[in-house]
Amino acid sequence: MRKAAGLWIVVGVFVAGSWILAQETPPPAEPKSKLIMGFENEGELAGIEFIGDPGREFVADKKYVTEGQAALKLKGKKGTDTGIEFPPTVRGKCLTGWEKYDLLVVDVHNLTDKDLSLSFRLDDDKSKDYASRARFAKTLRPGANAVKIPLKGLTRNGGGDFNVAGLRRFIGHFGSPTDDFEVVFDNMRLEKE
Ligand SMILES: [Ca+2]
């Protein structure tokens, strides 16, 4: 009887030791993907500015929703610069920690039957003019597009490294569209390759 009790004590110590070791394993690394904006409702868009006063509505159609329950449809006018601006005032909410990731990715569904040109402007803590900002442009084919902006090795328009850790402003816009257009945005996220 005493022998059996001793065995259980040994087993107990072993289990407890394993548990303690398990608790000491390092915390998991940064997740592979981090949501920046899910375009779910007006509350989530608080502080975000819209360039060109586009018509906008939330849509729940599964064809366009790639995250959560909703996506944001923007309706732009011919010849009117139209876009979404993440101003410096939202920095703590949306624009921090980007330097830990390789890509900014956003799903954009182009509802027209023509290509659309989507440009991005990024300002860091040293940006004062066009040369000291960064720019990235992407052609959207009709239908679904996953737009990817590389964050590693991003350079200023006038040369020199862009400081992603100091990101202050982020703008995605359609400059001088040749026709009225509609696009749906969803699942703006940071990703590791
Ligand atoms: Ca969503």
Q: Is 7 helix (H, G, I), strand (E, B) or coil?
A: helix
CA of 182 to the centre of ligand 1 (A): 17
Predicted TM-score (pTM) above 0.85: no
CATH architecture for residues 33-191: Sandwich (2.60)
Q: What angle do CA 143, 183, 77 make, to 5 degrees?
A: 130
Task: Output the CA torsion 79→147→188→44 (10° steps).
Answer: 10
pLDDT, residue 19, reads: 60
**So where are the chain's domains?**
33-191
Reduced to 3 states, what is the DSSP secondary structure of residue 155?
A: strand
Q: How far is the CA of 131 from the centre of ligand 1 (A)?
A: 34
Taking the chain (193 residues) in runs of 10, the rounded mean pLDDT of each run is 58 57 65 95 96 97 97 97 97 95 98 97 98 97 97 96 98 95 98 95
Note whether 125 and 135 are within 8 A (CB): no
Look at residue 54 and give its three-state secondary structure.
coil
Give the pLDDT confidence score for residue 77 in this predicted structure.
97
Instruction: Give me ligand 1 centre to Cα 126, in Å.
Output: 32
Task: Work out whether strand 181-191 and strand 169-174 pair parallel, antiparallel, or are unpaired.
Answer: unpaired
Cβ atoms < 10 Å from Cβ of 160: 12
Distance 180 CA to ligand 1 centre (A): 24
What pLDDT was estimated at residue 30? 72
pLDDT of residue 1: 52
Indicate the length of the chain as a whole number.
193
Query: What is the spatial distance between Cα 137 and Cα 117, in angstroms, rounded to a whole number?
Result: 7
Q: Around ion ligand 1, which residues have CB less than 5 A away?
A: 38-39, 67-68, 186
8 A C-beta contact, residue 122 and residue 169: yes
